A and B are shown apart, each in its own frame.
Chain A
Amino acid sequence: MEERSSKIAKWCLIGISVAFFLLMLIVPLFEVLYRALADGLEAYGTALGAKTTLSALKVTLLATVIAVVVNTVFGLIASWLVTKFDFRGKNVLSTLIDIPFSISPVIAGLAYIMTFGRTGWAKPLLDGINEALGTDIALVFSVPAVVLATIFVTFPFISREIIPLLYAQGRDEEEAAAMMGASGFTIFRKITFPHIRWGLLYGVILCAARAFGEFGAVYAVSKARGKTFTLPLEIDALYMAGSADSITQAFAVSSLLVGMALIMLILKNIVEYRGKRDDL
């Protein structure tokens, strides 16, 4: 009796969970595909091959790559600082690093506009630098602005993954190595890095996933379609264009991002699996 009711409970729970899972997570994915292909494969191909889509893809990839690289460098250095040394204000510092997590992305974009925009206080400074170097770099409404906004919202992603790992590892090994006269870089490479390899990769994947999907922050600093638009902005533009065709195109471009998201999920699972195996 007990056995049977336990079985019933089990399959009930599984049933409800699977239903919830399908309804909330899987159906939307198929909805994207279904709508993307509503006008047939040819229209799908045209939508993806459009000049604006390709340009958006380029900007998206560029911003993602740079954001990941910058945040990796920063994440490694910052987590080294936070976990290997004691200094006053450490807690404040680690809280500050996490700020972008809790800030509305819209405000992130706004922050750059208020600082580097034409009316921002840092604009004369920027003009001075541009003049001195003979360049014409704008930090708002340009590709660099998109990159900066992307970096902002993904800033703590990597340090957050590494810091707990480094805390758990402690400092003894590094201290021993330093005592024996190893250089900082060698210590990092030989001792620290193997411990955080999988955590780092995991952080990179999360960071990349967030970077190519960012909307709010980029929306504020990117206005020119076909020049500074990223894929999410292109989707918004197509969706807002209002005609049935363009909405189908919006979903076609969305399917591209869904594909990228799924790849990230698969990578994440591989990394998690390998990481667990290495730990054993």
Chain B
Amino acid sequence: MKKRGFICKTVCFTLLAACTAMALTGCGEEKEGGTITFTNVSYDPTREFYEAYNELFAEHYKETTGSGIELVQSHGGSGSQARSVIEGNDADVVTLALAHDITAIENAGLIEEGWMEEFERNSSPYTSTIVFLVHSGNEKEINDWDDLIKEGVEIITPDPKSSGGACWNFLAAWQYAKTTFGGDEEKMKEFVSKLYHNVLVMDSGARGATTTFVENGQGDVLIAWENEALLTLQEYPGEYELVTPGISILAEPSVAVVDENADKNGTQEVAKEYLNYLYSEEAQRMAGKYYYRPSDETVLQEFADTFDLSVNLCTIDDFGGWDQAYEDFFADDAVFDEIYAAQ
């Protein structure tokens, strides 16, 4: 008797579990009557910003349409996030670290051509740049890129092979070398090679690198997104200093509607509104509050105290666009592999 009970229970359990699974998978459709679920696939350092923005947008959406919206966030390394969308991660919009990653999704046929013109300013609602974060007092006297190659300086920066932010870091260093050595390729390679051999820990993502530097106390300097660095200063007042190098790069994180998914989910309209609203004054101000440089000039001026607006910034166009830059520097056996293997 006891044993039959066991088997009965097992059978019931199986059925129950199967039903639950089906119910859960069915959730997406059932909800569409009242609330829609909407997924934004983004990269690591935007966590806090989008958490806040999603609340703002949900309110805005409720006001204008009267219906609710449930926003789901996904964060990770920019490259792997793009890949997950290509593989079937059901993103309605992507907000990634570099245009190159969005182009990859476009090439897979998920995003229609011309996405860069779909929204203002090359579809970059906010920008950032690359700065150094050092321990309070700056004992190693790190003021510009050439201080990073001094002996005994330990650098924390993520791996360009897996992190979009790290690519920007590399290109900023390269740009410095280019202006310093007047385009002498050998010397430039030597410079970045020295720099990368001072790297102590190479995490797979920008967030991991920040954690390593701040929480686990590794290294003397973190090459970081400006927004990450400023956020850290706010979180740990008095413990760190921000150093703006003489030359840096204007990092333009891009956004796009993933047309195929949005059409399938019936969220094309919402998706457009979601990204358009990023350019609204409130959203721009919010971006500034989370230490992204607002693309709106007037809002940017409001944050003139926060950002060093005088820094000499090059752009990705100086490298012939992202696809070219990726090919030249980060593909297997390209410049990065070469300089990292040297020595």
A interface with B by C-beta (< 8 Å): 62, 65-66, 69, 72-73, 113, 116-120, 123, 135-138, 140-144, 147, 189-190, 193-194, 223-227, 237, 239-244, 247
How far in angstroms is the closest Cβ of chain B from A263? 19
| In the assembled complex, B186 has its CB within 8 A of some CB on chain A | no
Among the listed stretches B57-65, B166-174, B193-201, B209-217, which one makes contact with chain A, having 4 or more residues with CB under 8 Å of it? Answer: B209-217
Among the listed stretches B71-79, B124-132, B273-281, B309-317, which one makes contact with chain A, having 4 or more residues with CB under 8 Å of it? Answer: B71-79
A-B interface contact total, Cβ < 8 Å: 103
B21-58 interface bits toward A, Cβ cutoff 8 Å, 1 = contact, 0 = none: 10011101100000001010100100100000000000
Flag if A240 contacts B207 (CB, 8 Å).
yes
B6-19 interface bits toward A, Cβ cutoff 8 Å, 1 = contact, 0 = none: 11001001100110
- Given the interface contacts A144-B21, A237-B75, does A244 sit within 8 Å of B4 by beta carbon? no
| In the assembled complex, B108 has its CB within 8 A of some CB on chain A | yes
Range class of the B interface residue count = 35 or more
B201-226 interface bits toward A, Cβ cutoff 8 Å, 1 = contact, 0 = none: 00001011011001100000000000
Please tell me which one of the listed residues A120, A226, A244 contacts residue B72 in the complex, with CB atoms under 8 A apart.
Answer: A226
Please tell me which one of the listed residues B20, B44, B235 contacts residue A243 in the complex, with CB atoms under 8 A apart.
Answer: B235
Flag if B215 contacts A247 (CB, 8 Å).
yes
Flag if A66 contacts B215 (CB, 8 Å).
no
Q: Could you list 28 examples of A-B contacts with CB < 8 Å?
A: A62-B20, A62-B21, A113-B87, A117-B87, A118-B86, A119-B87, A119-B108, A123-B88, A136-B25, A136-B29, A140-B88, A140-B89, A141-B89, A189-B7, A190-B3, A193-B6, A223-B41, A223-B74, A223-B84, A225-B73, A225-B75, A227-B37, A240-B211, A242-B207, A242-B210, A242-B215, A243-B235, A244-B215
Q: How far is the CA of A194 from the CA of B20 in the complex (A)?
A: 30
Residues of chain B lying within 8 A (CB to CB) of residue A143: 21, 24-25
Q: How far is the CA of A118 from the CA of B88 in the complex (A)?
A: 5
Q: How far is the CA of A241 from the CA of B210 in the complex (A)?
A: 9
Please tell me which one of the listed residues A135, A142, A242 contacts residue B211 in the complex, with CB atoms under 8 A apart.
Answer: A242
Chain B interface main SS type: helix
Flag if A147 contacts B21 (CB, 8 Å).
yes
Please tell me which one of the listed residues A69, A118, A241 contacts residue B14 in the complex, with CB atoms under 8 A apart.
Answer: A69
Flag if B4 contacts A241 (CB, 8 Å).
no
Chain A interface main SS type: helix
| In the assembled complex, B90 has its CB within 8 A of some CB on chain A | yes
Flag if A223 contacts B89 (CB, 8 Å).
yes
- Given the interface contacts A144-B21, A225-B73, does A194 sit within 8 Å of B3 by beta carbon? yes
State the 7 A-B residue pairs at the shortest beta-carbon distance, nearest first.
Answer: A118-B88, A117-B87, A141-B89, A223-B74, A140-B88, A242-B211, A240-B207
Flag if A240 contacts B20 (CB, 8 Å).
no
Flag if A140 contacts B47 (CB, 8 Å).
no
Closest residue of chain A to B41, judged by CB? A223
How far in angstroms is the closest Cβ of chain B from A79? 15
Closest residue of chain B to A145, judged by CB? B88
Most buried by A among B20, B41, B74: B74
Q: How far is the CA of A55 from the CA of B207 in the complex (A)?
A: 23
Flag if B84 contacts A142 (CB, 8 Å).
no
Residues of chain B lying within 8 A (CB to CB) of residue A247: 211, 215
Flag if B81 contacts A223 (CB, 8 Å).
yes
Q: How far is the CA of A225 from the CA of B71 in the complex (A)?
A: 10
How far in angstroms is the closest Cβ of chain B from A2? 51
Q: How far is the CA of A138 from the CA of B87 in the complex (A)?
A: 11
Please tell me which one of the listed residues B25, B73, B215 contacts residue A144 in the complex, with CB atoms under 8 A apart.
Answer: B25
B123-155 interface bits toward A, Cβ cutoff 8 Å, 1 = contact, 0 = none: 000000000000000000000000000000000
Closest residue of chain A to B110, judged by CB? A118
Q: How far is the CA of A118 from the CA of B208 in the complex (A)?
A: 29
Flag if B14 contacts A73 (CB, 8 Å).
yes
Residues of chain B lying within 8 A (CB to CB) of residue A69: 10, 13-14, 17
Most buried by B among A137, A147, A227: A227
Flag if A227 contacts B14 (CB, 8 Å).
no
Residues of chain A lying within 8 A (CB to CB) of residue B232: 242
How far in angstroms is the closest Cβ of chain B from A62? 6
Flag if B28 contacts A136 (CB, 8 Å).
yes
Residues of chain A lying within 8 A (CB to CB) of residue B205: 240
Closest residue of chain B to A113, judged by CB? B87
How far in angstroms is the closest Cβ of chain B from A228? 9
Residues of chain A lying within 8 A (CB to CB) of residue B215: 242, 244, 247
Closest residue of chain B to A237, judged by CB? B75
How far in angstroms is the closest Cβ of chain A from B188? 32
Please tell me which one of the listed residues B13, B25, B214 contacts residue A137 in the complex, with CB atoms under 8 A apart.
Answer: B25
